[in-house]
Amino acid sequence: MEKQKTTLVAVSESEVLINFALNTKCRTNVRLRSLCATAPVSFKVQTSSPHKFLVNPPSGLVQPLSQTTLQIVLKPQNQVPPTFPRSPSDRFLIKAAVSDSAESSSLLFLSGLTQDVKLKVAFVGPFLLKHAVNRGDLNAVKNIIKRQKSILAELSRNEAQSLFRVATELDDSESMVGLLLQAGLSMDARVKLKTHVDVDSSYKGWSELHVAVALDRTAEVLSLLKAKKYDSLDCRDKEGRTPLHLAASKGNIRCAKALIESGANKNAKSIDGRSPLYNATANGGRQMAEMLIEMGADPTITDDRGRSCFDVARDKGHVEVTEILKRGGAVLTAARRGDVERLESLLEKGATTSYNDQYGLTAMHVAAIKGHKDAVLLLIEFGADLHSRDLEDHTPLHLAVEGGSLETVEVLLDNGADANAKSSSCASPLYMAQAKGCDDIALLLINRGASSSVPLRSLKSV
């Protein structure tokens, strides 16, 4: 009679996980549970590598719906497994059958009901994890952590620091360190890195926030900011650098934004007088420089040698960054805020007034619409174009009218603004003033020579 295969037993693990260590007996348990409710189940365990493994008990009997524990012992090995965590050559086979006796464990197969359970072997544990990290084997590290999800959390503080040190000595340290941190490695701030992501309190004095930023771990940075697991948002290392300095140096824009939005000092100066923006420009970080300027970083800050961001970008040949500083992104921001003091400092250092944003708005446009009369006067003094146009052909005078600032309109007219300039929709400043009901501005424009006109679009709609 042909033996009928069925499900008689279940095992607790799909793989035999061995916490490997050199020259040591390594033990693990596998629970075998009977699924048969009517009769005992006999079992026998076979291994493809009897010279390496012992099984206790190698055979036995499991009473109905009960379970037994099999202890698998790896004999002391003097070499690291050639392949891990999965071992291609080591396997276990559990042969199970319904027993003809409540006491006999022999596999008589009298009922014809049998089951074979195949188990593969995987070598895991802290020793092999560190070994995999040491040789830079990202795939092995991922697979060990996948099989032992709690392995990193269970490491002692010293073990975690040791593992972290090993990771940072790799050529591609950031990938390995990033993997470990993402997988949940608990890391004290007092650890040592010997690569370009140096972290050693006795050497660099980095906080946990410094470390997370340096490694571009945005999620971890946000978590730290939310939990406030740091002494200060602008905590300093031994060179006086804040976490924002590191983010700017390494071009980690998301981390930099998170820090600034949480209140980090955009213009903090390190011991050598360098600001985050200075670090970004020194490294040629175009996108970082643009972002910092847009968020209010001051490009006029000089280091302890008197060099500004513009100076260092120019001297290092960072053409794109030099253009960013030169074309006036900071000027636009200062004009929009009406920060006359900063605006004057920028212009005195040679920043241009002709820079325009994605809408074609220049510093003169934004100062005008905000009604910052003093900023408009300062821009005029430094040669800003009164007749510049945005993407809809609005002049600064159009926008001053839009902003409803009589004084600003007067300043522009006094300095030669065209009272009859037309936008792309043929709207004049006077038409806009009348449409907005700004009678005082309309009267001023008429007195300065503005002629009454109606936009062509309005005529077509009549």
Side-chain-facing half-sphere of 96: CA atoms under 13 Å: 25
Q: What is the CA radius of gyration of the chain?
A: 37
Distance in angstroms (rounded) separating the CA atoms of residues 122 and 90: 9
Q: Which of 145, 199, 144 is nearest to 169 (CA)?
A: 199
Phi/psi of residue 5, nearest 5 degrees: -85, 135
| Residue 102: band (very low, low, confident or very high) from pLDDT cuts 50, 70, 90 | low
Q: Regarding predicted confidence, which is higher, 173 or 249?
A: 249
Phi/psi of residue 116, nearest 5 degrees: -110, 125
Whether residue 253 is predicted with pLDDT greater than 50 in this model: the reply is yes
User: Which amino acid, 120?
Assistant: K
In 129-288 the beta strands, taken as DSSP E runs, fall at none
Q: Which of 259, 214, 253, 261 is nearest to 234 (CA)?
A: 259
Distance in angstroms (rounded) separating the CA atoms of residues 302 and 70: 71
Strand order in the sheet with 9-11: 9-11, 26-34, 67-74, 53-56
Average pLDDT estimate for 258-272:
92
Average pLDDT estimate for 23-48:
94
Residues 365, 366, 367, 372: is their CA dihedral positive or negative?
positive
Distance in angstroms (rounded) separating the CA atoms of residues 75 and 53: 6
| Residue 220: band (very low, low, confident or very high) from pLDDT cuts 50, 70, 90 | confident
Whether residue 49 is predicted with pLDDT greater than 90 in this model: the reply is yes
pLDDT computed for residue 198 by the predictor: 46
Average pLDDT estimate for 427-449:
93
Average pLDDT estimate for 151-179:
81
Q: Which of 94, 84, 152 is nearest to 121 (CA)?
A: 84
Q: Which domains does the chain have, with CATH numbers?
A: 4-124 (2.60.40.10), 353-462 (1.25.40.20)
Question: 155: which DSSP letter?
Answer: S
Whether residue 109 is predicted with pLDDT greater than 50 in this model: the reply is no
pLDDT computed for residue 401 by the predictor: 96
Residues facing 82 on adjacent strands? none
End-to-end CA distance of the chain: 99
| Residue 379: band (very low, low, confident or very high) from pLDDT cuts 50, 70, 90 | very high
Distance in angstroms (rounded) separating the CA atoms of residues 328 and 334: 10
> Could you check whether the bond before residue 85 is cis, i.e. omega within 30 degrees of 0?
yes
Q: Regarding predicted confidence, which is higher, 316 or 133?
A: 133
